[in-house]
Structure 1
């Protein structure tokens, strides 16, 4: 056998060996890549044994979204008091209120919660979910400006025809949990069409827990048998927007959210 033919056979054997090695390595590399991605499965069924609901968690750093009960996550509901967040943004942007310390005086009418029966600022009315304050601010904003801004931020079905101080309360305005997640992500990243200082003010008012390892921003909403808890949390490892929507109250939705976050995020 000639030397040239022997070299050709040798090279072909090496080529075949390399091809075989490559084909054997590919699955291993794929498995390694899969392990390196954030592919952890969130098992949250245990938190929804007492009521029907949906939960959404979005990793804002890695742009990954987990959805429990996909069908309900796409269904639109009245936002109830979670609308206080866009309402505050619009109120500040339009000058209907000056800042989070802007006072509205109690009209003397006794309402269902004692904490509502006193003067409030924009910030305290957010903290205690004081409906009458945000209704008064909505009237000051006016239907024309409110409609313009609700459409500008593409908030749900954008229907405010139910009355300037009622449309978000079991009325015409509807939004899905997935749309709420998008809205909260945009607020966290300050990508909504409001002035930066306006968004920073509203985010500051939304702070509910400021701990060593995380800051929790959120807003509850309740009405017509539906409970919401929406917001975002900033941790040492990243940031996440979240939405819980249940057949229950906002307090129950928040409790469910916190249980899930403590298991998967706040550790």
Structure 2
């Protein structure tokens, strides 16, 4: 009994999100290591808020790039083939189910009707739920902090002595600035017990936060930490951002002040630390330090370190290296953009009305041997091809010959039957690059890119074989309709001979099919063919009486003992062509 697994859009999203989350944590570890080394060798970065926010953004970028379309092409590690893994684990799961079901026929029948879910699928979907729950919890914590600050502000008395709304309250808190859109400064009444110069410096510290727009920086860091709550390094980096903001304000407030005022400022910091009982994570507070870190802050107050632009350059270069490494060294999902690619599209040739349009019909892929229809049109129009059996070209050992049927002298008729690659290559070579490109442009064929592999200059012989030339099933329909309605700038002879060598077949329902198959392997990141998957094409037109229908069927599935192109043809003739009278 065959076991299969079915992947929904949620399944694929869950896999990608799980992979991006793991990569995000790995990137966080690397970023933290780089910044730790920079702090050791370049102590001045501790007061650079841009460094710490950029470090958070680097982790976010590593997460986002994994989810971006075509991002897997930048990865160096081999992609994870989810379908293969899932099929194996599903088979194991199914065997366990059958084992537990015993000989019960009812249980066995139920197992046959459903595809067992594998553990990786459950884990990925569970992670989506866990992330959503964690995000909700983090948002609730932010809301709780905001309400606490609002409650403190409501309980205080407003003063009009500062450029921002200032509120004095009877609470053992640190002086703090909060509110992104409406900044407010909370000052505890116990500041009146401080010396005048100390009180003035403390207030100036919070106003410096306001002038430096530190609230914007702080809120950006909080938003990123909230979205990536599962990454412990985001929390560490956000704390470093807060630390840098405090050090930056200390530096600006004390710039040019005498040692006596520096000493008074440090004493005020210690006194405030002893008085405060709580600290709000969403506010910028003068005493936002721990007993373990206050000594370091006082040391920097007494003897501030200097930072050159080379410090920032070195740190940015290190973060860029982490981003590049995290992107290229983490695995991706194999063929994640078209995991179960399939399209069946039919169109009335006379009216252009879509009769059927099922699947991913806008996805482009290599045309493979369906491109021989194009080569035939060009060959007969240019005079390189004459009739069904002329020219007869001799086979040479240097020609592409991975199919034994190609290792013989070939004429146009046998070329189309066997999809002999070297024969098509001889025709396009005689055309030359410029004329070849002009034909493709005038046909409006796919993406019209016949440049071939990058740097290889092989467009004349390779562009349609898993290379630069790409076409979607929808574009195949448009091109085939131009053939049937004779809208291409070619001779009548080219139309007639191309139609003849397609070897039409008449079905039992009276429809005559003119079609061409194509099989090709998707290209991997390293440029090699994917040994596990194959594109299968079957394109052409069907006629009966005065009616003509153009069609295109394209699939991407696992490589099997038979070629994907003939399989696409068989399924089309069996499931679609037999129903043409109903369209």
TM-score calculated relative to the size of structure 1: 0.75
1:174-231 C-alpha deviation (Å, 9 max, x unpaired): 1111010111111112221110111111011113313572211001111112111000
Q: Is 1:203 aligned with 2:499?
A: yes
Q: Which of the residues 51, 56, 74 maps onto 2:345?
A: 56
> Which structure features the higher share of strand residues?
1
Q: Which has the higher contact order (CA 8 A, sep 6+)?
A: 1
Instruction: Tell whether the 8 Å contact from 1:206 to 1:218 is kept in structure 2 after alignment.
Output: yes
Q: Is the 8 A contact 1:217 1:233 kept in 2?
A: yes
**Are the counterparts in 2 of residues 207 and 215 from structure 1 also a CA contact under 8 Å?**
no
- Answering whether residue 573 of structure 2 is matched by residue 258 of structure 1, we say yes
Whether 1:118 and 2:408 are equivalent positions in the alignment is yes
- Residues 183/104 of structure 1: CA separation in 2 closer, same or farther (3 Å cut): same
The residue aligned with 1:226 is 535
Number of aligned residues: 216
Q: For residue 265 of structure 1, give the secondary structure of its aligned residue in structure 2.
A: helix
Alignment of structure 1 residues 140-219 onto 2, 5 Å: 140-162=430-452, 163=458, 164-211=460-507, 213-219=510-516
Cα separation, 1, equivalents of 2:395 and 2:553: 32
Unaligned runs of 5+ in 2: 1-339, 453-457, 522-533, 558-563
Assess if the C-alpha contact under 8 Å between 1:56 and 1:68 holds in 2. Answer: yes
Deviates more, 1:162-171 or 1:204-213: 204-213
- TM-score, structure 2 as length reference: 0.36
Q: CA deviation at 1:263?
A: 3.6
Q: Distance in 1 between matches of 2:376 and 2:570?
A: 24
CA distance, structure 1, for counterparts of residue 470 and residue 420 of structure 2: 20
Gaps of 5+ in 1: 1-50
Offset, 1:168: 0.3
In 2, Cα distance between equivalents of 1:111 and 1:253: 23
Instruction: Give the alignment partner of residue 93 of structure 1, picking from 363, 370, 381.
Output: 381
**DSSP 3-state at the match of 2:504:** strand
Q: CA offsets per residue over residues 25-47 of structure 1, 9 Å max, x none?
A: xxxxxxxxxxxxxxxxxxxxxxx
1:84 aligns with 2:372: yes
2 CA distance for matches of 1:147 and 1:68? 31
Alpha-carbon spacing, 1:104–1:59, altered in 2? closer, same or farther (3 Å): same
Q: Deviations over 1:57-89 (max 9, x none)?
A: 1122454212001xx211111111111011111
Computed over aligned residues only, the root mean square deviation of the Cα atoms, in angstroms, reads 2.0
